Structure 1
């Protein structure tokens, strides 16, 4: 009996250790609800500290000439990951190739003005955490529409917190922040381009960061699981392409 109890105790300790270690890894990128999410440095420093997720994003911030905004200003930033930027650039190159034009091989070929306009869609003055936003129900916008917030560039975006269900109890489950691009201001509740947040309320010294979802498994009944894209930089590939082309693309320089 003693040996069995000792064995069970050892197994329990081992499992607890593994779970604790797993919770510590990349702690700011999991919706565990157990992290304070503070970071002793600016938003720009935080992004640079996570190159796996944000190396391309920090390059884009530099090209756009917005380092000071992310390093000094008090802002709320819905941070797209590098993979979101890659997907949009890939879509741009497909469009250029289809029209017999030279493709983009360097981020610097996209003009700073275009990067600034696109990045500004994700930046808001002041500090807002998840608790500061109203409820949104994407299936019942009449009751819970979220709310419009003005970006750094002056465009209105819709932001809200989705209250998920807990079994049969409506709105009693976990809460997830969403930011949405409004295509048509004449009908602002229709056709929103929604971007879910993977990890909210990360608090560097000069504001708040909400990290947008990257990729996730989409399970289709009767098939194998496939990767599904969560977000494209600019909220859609077409918006990204149109913005970049409106400013023109620079030729490749040696």
Structure 2
């Protein structure tokens, strides 16, 4: 309980850091310049983009999940390095307050933690945006998306948000056509409250599955940095 109080105490300061840090690399993430097809496996694609996935590749190796991303027929929602750095930064604040050595190498975090949380992003079978039902985060009773079990056994939700088309007529009056705009894939978790994460780029097709890249501005590795920090701290 004491550890959890410490974690909650520093959330406010951490949130400010996240806002500042999340601006980095956003130009590439938001540009949608990923290739639609990649002549290689998911693991090979991640390895080919170290500017975005260098830390993720280290986590994959520490979690002993290279074979999963290289061989199995899967769908992988890739958390870029920035999302991992957010959660590790909060862990380091907890360690510092406790008078413990901070993490300077991802290998200092127990591999059990890496595998547990990375498994939240892996799903059996190849699926594209078009394979998921509609999601409306404000009307979940009407458009809930669809529940899926992740590789690690976690209950997750995946759906496609249909944005509205908004314009103004000659009189300057706003006109809105519901659900007629662009469609965006979302990965959601309900373990720590409802946390919806938009996908920055979807449908990167590789030899062994589909890859969807999470939005760095609206996601922290594990969905909850607080939960990740608490779990990692408990096993150190």
**TM-score for both structures, normalised by structure 2:** 0.81
- Match in the other structure for 2:184: 176
The 4+ residue runs of structure 1 with deviation greater than 4 A are none
Using the alignment, how far apart are the partners of 2:233 and 2:121 within structure 1? 20
- CA drift of 1:29 comes to 6.6
| Structure 1 position 103, deviation (Å) | 1.3
- CA change 1:36–1:93 in 2 (3 A) is closer
- Does 1:50 find its partner at 2:49? yes
Which residue does 2:219 correspond to in 1?
231
Q: For residues 190-246 of structure 1, what are the alpha-carbon distances to aligned partners after superposition, in whole Å with 9 as ceiling and x for unaligned? A: x311111000000110000000012xxxxxxxxxxxxxx311000011121122134
- Which residue number corresponds to residue 242 of structure 1? 230
- Structure with larger RCO (C-alpha < 8 A, sep 6+): 2
Query: Does residue 1:67 correspond to 2:66, yes or no?
Result: yes
SS in 1 for 2:153: coil
Secondary structure of the residue aligned to 1:203 is strand
Distance 1:46 1:29 in 2: 18
SS at match of 1:241: helix
Distance 2:128 2:35 in 1: 12
- What's the C-alpha RMSD, in Å, of the aligned pairs? 1.8
Question: 2:152 & 2:62 partners in 1: Cα distance?
Answer: 17
SS at structure 1 position matched to 2:101: coil
Aligned counterparts of 1:133 and 1:244: Cα–Cα separation in 2: 32
Could you tell me which runs of 5 or more consecutive residues in structure 2 were left unpaired when the two chains were aligned: 1-26, 167-175
Secondary structure at 1:37's aligned position in 2?
coil
Work out the number of aligned pairs and report it: 201
Once the two structures are TM-superposed, the CA of residue 31 in structure 1 deviates from its matched residue by: 3.9
TM-superposed deviation, 1:100: 2.1
Using the size of structure 1 for normalisation, the TM-score is: 0.75
Higher-Rg structure is: 1
Checking the alignment, whether the CA contact within 8 Å between 2:161 and 2:184 is kept in structure 1 is yes
Higher percent of residues as helix: 2
